Structure 1
Amino acid sequence: MSFGDPNNPYGQPQDPNQGQQPGYGYPQQAPQGVPPQQGYGYPQQQPGAYPQAPGTLQANNGYISVHGLGTVQVGSMGLRFAARLIDAVAIGAIVWLLSIVGLAGVVGAAESLEDCTSIDPMTPAYETCVNDQAAAAGGILAAFFGFLFLMFIATMLYEWLMISFVGATLGKMAVGLRVVKETTGGKPGIGGGFIRWIIPMVGAIVCGIGQLLVYLSPFFDNTGKTQGWHDRAAGTLVIKK
């Protein structure tokens, strides 16, 4: 028997790795052209894809993931400005109606004043007339400030309560915007609505400059959420419906 005989199977050199199964520590070679598969326990991610957590902007493209709502579009400043204009018209109509009522009351009170010039200043009737005029003037002044307070309450309730319980004013409804809580996606609620309303009102004390800055503050937001200072304080977002 010749070990050099090519026809003798016992004479062929054996590959030391032939017949062995890949074990631990040995990488398995994939066939050519077939991508290797990941093992168990390792999440497979698409290139460039990242999970979007609530409140996370998506590539700073004007969309944001909000809990309970999914991916929504952030309200633009153009739409917000248009909503403010519509709200100004609505509030102006309320103020106009209240002004008519208040003016009618003031005119009626003024006409009721008695003319004291025709009374002798040396008589007790003159002193009585003057006292009546002073009391009537005080009533007119009280009515004027009461009218201002009534307008303040009306505008406060319009903005505060509609944002709190509806999530939008008439202006925001008209342009397709709504205000939601950033963490839940729900309506702001009475607390969030009040905070969002009171901050611009405090700014209005300084000749309205502070209020204007608050309404322009979304331009200064570098997060891409277009949040104003009042939105940040209240934890709200303005989004498209």
Structure 2
Amino acid sequence: MSFGSPQNPYGAPQNPQQSYGYPQGQPGYGQPQPGYGQPQPGYGYPQQTGYPGGAGGPNPRIASMGRRLGARLIDGLILAVVYTILVFIGLVGAFSAASDCGDPGSIGYDACINDAGSDFAQQFGAILGGVWVLTLLYEWLMIGLVGRTLGKMAVGLHVVNAETGAKPGLGKSFIRWIVTMIGSVACGIITLLVYLSPFWDKSGRQQGWHDKAAGTMVVMN
């Protein structure tokens, strides 16, 4: 009885990989498998085209509180300038009306002055209402449609949808704005807390209460 050829007298398999029932073509024991330990798609922040930097780029860079404060100061300065101009126009109108009342002590002078003061009070209330509406339109429309205000443009920040990285849209932008405005009822104390709340966020995204309510986050360009 023959157990093999002269070159292989014991009949052992010529290919060692075919012995002991191991499957052919598999990598050796202990060698790293393809893809093992590599990060899987979707882990962490979503990599969407809406994030600044484009698709497939690094995770969005979270905006620092220093930059956010700078953007807020610039936006506040812009609105303060507009407010000052409107108040100045109202004052000019009030002084002009008072000058038409004639000399002090003349007949009807006191009544005329009272009317002028009443008119200015009404104008001042209208100015406050106009500034409130202007603030709404400025923050709401620019954040919702552009993703940034002039202040955020100046310091290189974007407000984005926290899940997709796209612009927030008008719905999320309005929620974000109204949360801060509700705080102004309490003499602005709650508004201040809202703006400081990113310091207490433990998610790593530095989301304020207004960001969490709206589902947004602030990132650098």
**Uncovered stretches (5+) of structure 1, i.e. residues with no partner:** 4-8, 39-43, 57-63, 120-125
**Uncovered stretches (5+) of structure 2, i.e. residues with no partner:** none
Structure 1 position 166 matched with structure 2 position 146: yes
**Structure whose alpha-carbon radius of gyration is higher:** 1
Aligned residue pair count: 209
* Offset of residue 117 of structure 1: 3.8
Question: d(CA) in 2 for partners of 1:157 and 1:190?
Answer: 11
| Aligned equivalent of 1:83 | 71
The alignment-based identity, stated in percent, is 40
| Aligned equivalent of 1:123 | none
Question: d(CA) in 2 for partners of 1:232 and 1:28?
Answer: 53
1:217 touches 1:227 (CA, 8 Å); kept in 2?
yes
Equivalent residue letter for 1:65? P
Question: Please, what TM-score do these two structures have when normalized by structure 2?
Answer: 0.77
1:30 touches 1:36 (CA, 8 Å); kept in 2?
no
User: Could you say what secondary structure the match of 2:60 adopts?
Assistant: strand
The residue correspondences of 1:61-210 to structure 2 (distance < 5 A) are: 64-68=45-49, 69=51, 70=55, 71-113=59-101, 117-119=105-107, 134-210=114-190
Q: CA RMSD in A?
A: 3.5
Question: d(CA) in 1 for partners of 2:47 and 2:24?
Answer: 44
Question: Please, what TM-score do these two structures have when normalized by structure 1?
Answer: 0.72
Structure 1 position 221 matched with structure 2 position 201: yes
2:172 touches 2:215 (CA, 8 Å); kept in 1?
yes
**Aligned residue among 16, 22, 29 for 1:27:** 22
C-alpha offsets along residues 132-151 of structure 1, whole Å, 9 cap, x if unaligned? 55544432221121111112
User: Could you say what secondary structure the match of 1:73 adopts?
Assistant: coil
| Aligned equivalent of 1:236 | 216
Please identify which structure carries the higher helix content.
2
